[in-house]
Amino acid sequence: MPMPTTKTLREGSTRKRAAILSAARELFLANGFDRTSVDAVAARAEVSKRTVYDYFGDKRTLLQAVVDAVGQSLITTIRRTLDETLTDLTEAADLEDALVTFSMRIATDMLGSADYATLQRLVRAESGHLPHRDENPLADTPDEAIAERFAAFAAAGLLDVPDPRLAADQFLALTFGVALDRLGSANAAEDTRVQPLVVEGVRTFLRAYRTR
């Protein structure tokens, strides 16, 4: 029987919290939400059942926490890749190569990652059990992170973007959106058809937003 969730949840130790999340992730993926019990999660994490409830309140909140943790890991990958590929650009002529490099890194480092596959499987299979099932764990990012970078490019005179957030949404649609719609995510990291789609998407984006 689910424990009440109105009480204040414990922050607890980082180690125990990580152990519970890891155990829950493995069991939700292997057995699904309905067939995963809090007792099984506690046993896998080597904590008490009471500790799981104290940290997460109930099983649905635990599933949401697993999804959020995986999403946060992907967001960290996106921000790191932005910093490594789209920083210190000073010439408009360098934008195409830099944006293609960024996009391909995301395609290989993120879309081909175990975290991305986990997120997709959990959201698709268990969305009805998520307390915030209408929220996309990646809804605000990478859009906001890319918008911030485009705003910086506009300030430097490299792009003409009156609305950086709209430009970020369009960039994502033209690159990852097209690639995923055409090919799906399962083999995005290895599929040789991804790069031509990304390159054309970047060029279309720059035709609209490059400074004249």
Q: Is the per-residue pLDDT at 6 higher than 50?
A: no
| Domain-located, residue 140 | yes
27: CATH? 1.10.10.60
Residues 47 and 104 in one domain: no
Total Cβ atoms within 10 A of residue 47? 21
Q: How many domains does the structure of the chain reveal?
A: 2
> Phi and psi (nearest 5°) for 34?
-65, -35
| Domain-located, residue 64 | no
Residues 167 and 89 in one domain: yes
Residue range(s) defining the domain that contains residue 40: 9-57
Residues 145 and 41 in one domain: no
| Domain-located, residue 63 | no
Residues 79 and 45 in one domain: no
Residues 157 and 189 in one domain: yes
Residues 134 and 164 in one domain: yes
The whole-model pTM stands at 0.71
Residues 104 and 201 in one domain: yes
Total Cβ atoms within 10 A of residue 53? 22
Which one, of 68, 60, 198, lies nearest residue 141 by Cα? 68
Q: Is the per-residue pLDDT at 11 higher than 70?
A: no
How far apart, in whole angstroms, are the C-alpha atoms of residue 1 and residue 5?
Answer: 12
Residues 81 and 16 in one domain: no
The winner for highest mean pLDDT among 8-22, 49-63, 65-79 is: 49-63
Average confidence (pLDDT) over 54-82:
87
Note the pLDDT of residue 28: 86
> By three-state DSSP, how is residue 159 classified?
strand
